[in-house]
């Protein structure tokens, strides 16, 4: 099945299914000499793993990463890196009742019509469990970008349902984000979010929201004209994440309410003699190329499709049936999606940085 690879120089190819033997990733094009260990990658996977709090799925997976190739004596060798996590707590029998029907808002119908077959065990390849492979690859990219270029990539939950924080995203820290289980740096709003998600979990329902991403210290010149703009590739990377329905960068849709005289980011020379902009409505990119300002964006997630409330659907014979989901699922994916957003941002920037190096030679 095509469509499992992302990137042009720093390429990742993910593999595996939700209730198969495991999930993993192959990274090609990774520079040599990056100090990396399973412990480094595990720290990121632990932020994404299921069963980490009362507002996440009850599935218990330790998600222990194993590096099979591409790393020797603690450093990347420049050859393909293969990593895998074995599934330990899969319960494919929970999904036996799904083989003859299509769950509302899932990929069951489209996968079967496209390929003539589908893995009905937890959604198979369409499951969000695939994203752990992205987080593993993103851990390497984040480490390189942080150590070589001083780039910091942060994401946090900005909104769940109608509960929203207006905290200044330029001032947040990783410590702020990780201070609570919902990963919202605003403690007051975080408490409301947690209470709301717990309520929905008891009711068998779900909710969506918005994750804010911020990239600090990105160098000038990342991005290509015309179809490979940095903001376009960031959009593609985020929209490829399960349950994502929207992406905007900079002022985004809010910019339509501004005049050009208000929205334009005027240039000036700072005290160090560097060209800067007085505002940053462009979100750190102009003409699709990074300008040295903070890159900031929002990612909108729909409510989780799997809920335990009874709904109507159809089976393979076209008969209308009543359906109530079983199994273990998140009432809100956003807390566990924070490291996924960070990982895809890191992978995208890593690829564009390597493309810039090649182009500058």
Write out pLDDT tens, residues 266-282.
Answer: 999 999 999 999 999 99
The predicted model gives 132-151 an average pLDDT of: 98
Q: What is the per-residue pLDDT for 94? A: 60
Q: What is the pLDDT of residues 230-239, one digit of tens each?
A: 999 999 999 9
State how far the alpha carbon of 57 is from the alpha carbons of 50, 84, 182, 304, 336, in Å: 6, 21, 13, 11, 10
Tell me if 298 sits within 8 A of 211, measured CB to CB: yes
Number of domains in the chain: 1
Percentage of the chain lying above the pLDDT 90 cut:
77
State the pLDDT at residue 92.
57
pLDDT greater than 70 at residue 361: no
Cβ distance 212 to 298 under 8 Å?
yes
Question: Which is higher by pLDDT, 237 or 94?
Answer: 237
From 58, 347, 116, 124, select the one nearest 230 (Cα to Cα): 347
pLDDT grade for 353, boundaries at 50, 70 and 90:
very high
Q: Are 293 and 277 in contact (CB under 8 A)?
A: yes
Q: Quick check: 90 pLDDT over 90?
A: no
Containing structural domain, residue 9: 5-360
User: Mean pLDDT score of the chain, rounded to an integer?
Assistant: 93
Residue 91's pLDDT is: 60
Q: What is the mean pLDDT of residues 208-237?
A: 97
pLDDT above 60: residue 349 = yes
Beta carbons within 8 Å of 248's beta carbon, 6+ residues apart: 297, 298
> Residue 155: which CATH number?
3.60.150.10
CB 200 within 8 A of CB 309: no
Whether the per-residue pLDDT at 58 is higher than 90: the answer is no
Q: Token digits for 50?
A: 């299921």
23, containing H or E segment? strand 22-28
Q: Is the pLDDT of residue 359 over 80?
A: no
Asked if 293 contacts 280 with a C-beta cutoff of 8 angstroms, the reply is yes
Structure tokens at 167: 């905290």
Sheet with strand 22-28: strands edge to edge: 5-6, 11-16, 22-28, 81-86, 65-69
Lowest mean pLDDT among 112-126, 201-215, 251-265: 112-126
State residue 95's pLDDT score. 64
The 8-class DSSP code of residue 228 comes to T
pLDDT at 1 over 60: no
């Amino acid at each position: 099945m095509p469509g499992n690879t992302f990137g042009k120089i720093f390429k990742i190819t993910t593999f595996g299914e939700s209730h198969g033997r495991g999930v993993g990733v192959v990274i090609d094009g990774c520079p040599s000499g990056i100090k990396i260990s399973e412990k480094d990658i595990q720290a990121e996977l632990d932020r994404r793993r299921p069963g980490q709090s009362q507002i996440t799925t009850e599935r218990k997976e330790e998600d222990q990463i194993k590096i099979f190739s591409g790393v020797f004596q603690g450093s990347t060798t420049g050859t393909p890196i293969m990593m895998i996590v074995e599934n330990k707590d899969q319960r494919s029998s929970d999904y036996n009742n799904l083989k003859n029907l299509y769950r509302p808002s899932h990929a069951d119908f489209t996968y079967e019509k496209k390929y003539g077959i589908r893995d009905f065990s937890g959604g198979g390849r369409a499951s969000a469990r695939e994203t752990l492979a992205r987080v593993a690859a993103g851990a390497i990219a984040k480490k390189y970008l942080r150590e070589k270029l001083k780039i910091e990539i942060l994401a946090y939950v900005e909104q769940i349902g109608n509960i929203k924080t207006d905290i200044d995203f330029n001032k947040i820290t990783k410590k702020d984000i990780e201070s609570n289980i919902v990963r919202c740096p605003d403690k007051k709003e975080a408490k409301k979010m947690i209470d709301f998600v717990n309520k929905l979990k008891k009711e068998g329902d779900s909710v969506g929201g918005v994750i804010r991403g911020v990239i600090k210290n990105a160098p000038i010149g990342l991005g290509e004209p015309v179809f490979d703009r940095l903001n376009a590739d960031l959009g593609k990377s985020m929209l490829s994440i399960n349950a994502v329905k929207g992406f905007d960068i900079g002022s985004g849709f809010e910019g339509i309410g501004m005049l050009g005289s208000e929205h334009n980011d005027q240039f000036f020379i700072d005290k160090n003699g560097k060209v800067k902009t007085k505002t940053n409505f462009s979100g750190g990119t102009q003409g699709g190329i990074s300008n040295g300002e903070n890159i900031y964006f929002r990612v909108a997630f729909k409510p989780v499709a799997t809920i335990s409330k009874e709904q109507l659907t159809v089976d393979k014979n076209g008969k209308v049936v009543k359906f109530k989901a079983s199994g273990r699922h998140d009432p809100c994916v956003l807390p566990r999606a924070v490291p996924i957003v960070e990982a895809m941002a890191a992978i995208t920037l890593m690829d564009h940085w390597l493309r810039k190096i090649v182009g500058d030679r």
